[in-house]
A and B are shown apart, each in its own frame.
Chain A
Amino acid sequence: MQMLKQRSGVRAAQPGRRTVQVRAVAAPVKAPSSKAIITPEVAKDLYYDMVLGREFEEMCAQMYYRGKMFGFVHLYSGQEAVSTGVCRLLRQDDYVVSTYRDHVHALSKGVPAREVMAELFGKKTGCCRGQGGSMHMFSSKHGLLGGYAFIGEGIPVGLGAAFQSKYRHDVLGDEKADSVTCSFFGDGTCNVGQFYESLNMAALYKLPHIFVVENNLWAIGMSHLRATASTAGDNDPHIYKKGPAFGMPGVLVDGMDVLKVRQVAQEAIERARRGEGPTLIEAETYRFRGHSLADPDELRSKEEKAKWAARDPIPQLKKYMLEHGLASEADIKALEDKVAEVVEDSVKFADESPKPEKGQLLENVFADPRGFGISEDGLYRYMQPGFSSGTAIVS
């Protein structure tokens, strides 16, 4: 198997080739400079968010093995820099679309940890009333449009939200309508047809949509190098190069460095808000755990895992903060303690929350319950006794 070249830094599509112009940072941040590129407040927010993501996911693993959550649970541990780097720049009225690896996107977008944990426990206080589960996190309040189990099927939905934003501006005349949508998905998704259909439409209609590829090199047991053909003239299958082929900038970024991800995301978001259209961001990252909690994870070598574990985004940011005087050890410890508190509280809340009653069975099938039709006695079925207790015959 081909050895991966050590890659780091931020670079746009190769120089010397005709590319779509990207004003992203070209040179990687090499040595710690004396001037920090973020404020202390931002630094603390980023650190808190990444630690929250990590601790939450580790708690999920514990809870799963203790029989509190079931089914397919896909953890994000190791990839926090991407979620935090992008989502902490978004406003509440911006949208995020994810795949089944969506717990941390939910948290970064502002969904309370309690609601996510309760959803994972299948309780009625979960963000989706226990009806979605791990792979279907939604929050209308925080602009989280899901949680999708079939990879690729969320991307067009993200495009739809971006279309709506542009429609509000261009058709409905709302000058302030400039919300953007970020769709997160992995390297495996980049071989799904819907990805290409979406790249084309996003560029064609100049939609305020950002494609964020979390390339963690593995789709369950399928290495990216075995699943994807190399881009022409390269030894590796570069996903970011597919952006210019479809009419948008493609940017490669070190997905283990939250500040680099943030810089690239900032530019992409501003482009989108200005009406200049979509961007494709490929963030090189790694998941420290298996594909899901059911994955024995036997195909990835120990050396590979160790190499990426050494690039853990959380200690990287901690080091940066201390070196640039953005926070003291005490500040950092306080943030970590707060996270521990929030995560423990979320488990307690989830544990103590009630389970859904059978009445929930029929309530949300239709937005308009007349969709269940008219029964023999001439009444709409939703008016039947037993509908709100989930026992009515509806077909």
Chain B
Amino acid sequence: MLAHRNARVAAGRRVAAAPGQRAFVGARPCRQSLVAAKAQKKEMMMWEALREAIDEEMERDPTVCVMGEDVGHYGGSYKCTFGLYKKYGDMRVLDTPICENGFMGMGVGAAMTGLRPIVEGMNMGFLLLAFNQISNNCGMLHYTSGGQFKTPLVIRGPGGVGRQLGAEHSQRLESYFQSIPGVQLVAVSTVKNAKALLKAAIRSDNPIIFFEHVLLYNIKGEAGDKDDVACLERAEVVREGTDVSIFTYSRMRYVVMQAVNELVKKGYNPEVVDLISLKPFDMETISRSVKKTRRVIIVEECMKTGGIGASLSAVINESMFYDLDHEVVRLSSQDVPTAYAYELEAATIVQSSQVVDAVEKVVGRAAVHA
């Protein structure tokens, strides 16, 4: 059911027509990763795109390996490593016992000594058990060793609120991890950005915490080819507009675009920016948008308290106070555990009607901006 809704939303959105630019190493960061003219267009589901990214990178670099529960023979709980053990063997696609802190630490040690592990959390929530290794070792070790060792890990897995999975399987860890110094946080949302960003994360020398969403694995879209490697620090302008800047990430992008369909009919013209890089924020894209629209709504799935929106709101306040005509509005999940019952679960997270209401409130009547 959700897949249908997503497909409609995906069809309805207008991708900002940013010209494909060559990515180059230098002072100016890449705007988009596409080598547009040569990009091979293939339609597939997100899990297939992630699998393709892992496969391509493992083929390209023999030090890339995967570790996690059921990643090997089972193929991954969400099929992201389906069949890869047959191609690469049991050691490169390592089925671990159930000991998150232990195998996360093992990934750190392997990374310090020259390998590039991709560590999968079967559900991101399970990585709470690995917080010790992620915070102390993954994040801080490059610093405490005086730069002697690096920890090029990718820590990936599904998070977010699914379909009545209960409180513990519905967690959003991005807000818990965001304060850890030394890690980058990336949240993917489309087939295209998922594949391109995972490739970039695997190639990065920094530890990247890579957030996928339980409900997005089956969305369809076009994936790039094996040279499409995205920029990890860049946000994505989903829709250009003038009324209000809506900053969002992960599945909430689709909730926002669903609201946008309705808002457009009412005469509004919102700009939608998918943050992608939850830490660090792409302040160039963000500030350009804020200065243009002078109104900000943040739509996120994590809890309001201490969430990504809390950080972003503070940063916008501090650096763009006089560019705002309205206080920054945050639409976040309620500070409650996610209930099992459908209605309560729906009441916990942001729905598209709330986004519509927020835009109407922040922008005022559409006629003003006609």
- Residues of B contacting A92 with CB < 8 Å? none
A159 close to chain B: CB less than 8 A: yes
Contact between B102 and A156 (Cβ–Cβ < 8 Å)? yes
Query: When the two chains form the complex, which single residue of B27, B110, B184 contacts A383, counting CB atoms closer than 8 Å?
Result: B27
Contact between B29 and A163 (Cβ–Cβ < 8 Å)? no
Q: Which residues B127-168 have CB closer than 8 A to chain A? A: 132-133, 136-137, 141-152
Query: When the two chains form the complex, which single residue of A126, A129, A146, A167 contacts B65, counting CB atoms closer than 8 Å?
Result: A167
- Residues of B contacting A130 with CB < 8 Å? 146
Given contacts A156-B106, A159-B105, A160-B112, contact A146 B141 (CB under 8 A): yes
Given contacts A136-B144, A138-B144, A371-B184, contact A376 B283 (CB under 8 A): yes
- Tell me the smallest distance from the CB of A223 to a CB of chain B, in Å: 26
A150 close to chain B: CB less than 8 A: yes
Contact between B146 and A395 (Cβ–Cβ < 8 Å)? no
- Residues of B contacting A164 with CB < 8 Å? 109-110, 113-115
B108 close to chain A: CB less than 8 A: yes
Contact between B148 and A140 (Cβ–Cβ < 8 Å)? yes
Query: When the two chains form the complex, which single residue of A131, A146, A153, A170 contacts B132, counting CB atoms closer than 8 Å?
Result: A153
CA distance A150 to B132 in the complex (A): 9
- Tell me the smallest distance from the CB of B113 to a CB of chain A, in Å: 4
Query: When the two chains form the complex, which single residue of A161, A194, A374 contacts B280, counting CB atoms closer than 8 Å?
Result: A374
Given contacts A164-B109, A380-B29, contact A172 B137 (CB under 8 A): no
Contact between B182 and A366 (Cβ–Cβ < 8 Å)? yes
- Which bracket fits the contact residues of B? 35 or more
- Residues of B contacting A352 with CB < 8 Å? none
A232 close to chain B: CB less than 8 A: no
B343 close to chain A: CB less than 8 A: no
CA distance A164 to B29 in the complex (A): 33
- Tell me the smallest distance from the CB of B141 to a CB of chain A, in Å: 7
Contact indicator per residue, chain B 281-318, by CB within 8 Å of chain A (1) or not (0)? 11111010000000000000000000000000001000
Query: When the two chains form the complex, which single residue of B106, B182, B206, B285 contacts A163, counting CB atoms closer than 8 Å?
Result: B106
- Residues of A contacting B181 with CB < 8 Å? 365
Contact between A160 and B111 (Cβ–Cβ < 8 Å)? yes
Contact between A156 and B148 (Cβ–Cβ < 8 Å)? no
Contact indicator per residue, chain B 215-258, by CB within 8 Å of chain A (1) or not (0)? 00000000000000000111000000000000000000000000
Contact between B65 and A145 (Cβ–Cβ < 8 Å)? no
- Residues of B contacting A163 with CB < 8 Å? 106, 109-110, 115
Contact between A145 and B112 (Cβ–Cβ < 8 Å)? yes
Q: Which residue of A is nearest B139, CB measured?
A: A365
- Residues of A contacting B62 with CB < 8 Å? 171-172
CA distance A258 to B27 in the complex (A): 56
Contact indicator per residue, chain B 192-204, by CB within 8 Å of chain A (1) or not (0)? 0000000000001
- Tell me the smallest distance from the CB of A85 to a CB of chain B, in Å: 23
- Residues of B contacting A167 with CB < 8 Å? 65, 91-92, 110, 115
- Tell me the smallest distance from the CB of B177 to a CB of chain A, in Å: 14
Given contacts A161-B113, A171-B89, contact A370 B106 (CB under 8 A): no
A211 close to chain B: CB less than 8 A: no
Contact between B109 and A367 (Cβ–Cβ < 8 Å)? no
Task: Give me the 5 closest cross-chain CB pairs, A-B, nearest first.
Answer: A160-B109, A156-B105, A373-B280, A197-B102, A129-B146
8 pairs of residues in contact across A and B, judged by CB atoms under 8 Å: A146-B145, A159-B109, A365-B181, A373-B281, A374-B29, A379-B27, A379-B28, A381-B280
Interfacial residues, chain B to chain A (CB-CB below 8 A): 27-29, 62-63, 65, 89, 91-92, 94, 96-97, 99, 101-115, 132-133, 136-137, 141-152, 181-182, 184, 204-206, 232-234, 277, 279-285, 287, 315, 319
Q: Other than the known A131-B145, A156-B105, A378-B284, what 19 A-B pairs have Cβ atoms closer than 8 Å?
A: A131-B143, A148-B136, A150-B136, A153-B132, A153-B133, A156-B133, A157-B106, A157-B108, A158-B109, A161-B109, A167-B115, A171-B91, A193-B101, A198-B106, A200-B97, A201-B102, A373-B277, A374-B280, A378-B28
